[in-house]
Amino acid sequence: MAEERKPSNPRRDPESAPYWAAAERGVLLLKRCRACGQLHYFPRPLCPFCMSADTEWVEAKGQGEIYSFTVLRRAAPPYAVAYVTLDEGVRVLTNIVGGDFDALRIGQGVSLAFQLSENGSPIAMFTPA
């Protein structure tokens, strides 16, 4: 198992407050546009598909699969960065934690696992299923 590193502190703002409150409870939130129906991540006030401000928060299942990844072995400690496609269809840029980096594969299932940042904020990451 790879040694874990603490992620940087996230930027918090009033628009993302519901996201961070849910993260404190171990829940990953996505945004859904009420105008076009598209889900998107990262959460933001306007839909990136149709630019509507009529969006709502929805809870993600926390399951997905690795779409693409790389392992940064020259870092101390090494870490894995991946695009994960959530079961909801949204693709997120994240870290893979808690597993053997040499065993990672594209298409491998992953589950949500929050890791605390330097200031204690929970950051959504994924662990191999």
Reading the block at residue 112, the tokens are: 């949500």
pLDDT of res. 97: 95
Whether residue 41 contacts residue 21, with contact meaning beta carbons closer than 8 Å, is answered with: no
Q: Which pLDDT tens digit goes with each residue over 106-128?
A: 999 999 999 999 888 999 999 99
Q: Look at residue 70 and give its three-state secondary structure.
A: strand
Can you list the domains of the chain with their CATH numbers? Answer: 12-59 (no CATH), 61-129 (2.40.50.840)
Residue 3: is its pLDDT beyond 70? no
Q: Which pLDDT tens digit goes with each residue over 4-47?
A: 677 877 888 888 999 999 999 999 999 999 999 999 998 888 99
pLDDT of res. 76: 87
Query: Which pTM does this prediction carry?
Result: 0.89
Whether residue 50 contacts residue 35, with contact meaning beta carbons closer than 8 Å, is answered with: yes
Instruction: Compare 120 and 53 and report the one with higher pLDDT.
Output: 53
pLDDT of res. 59: 97
Q: Which of 95, 96, 89, 93 is nearest to 128 (CA)?
A: 96
Mean pLDDT (whole number) for 84-113 = 96
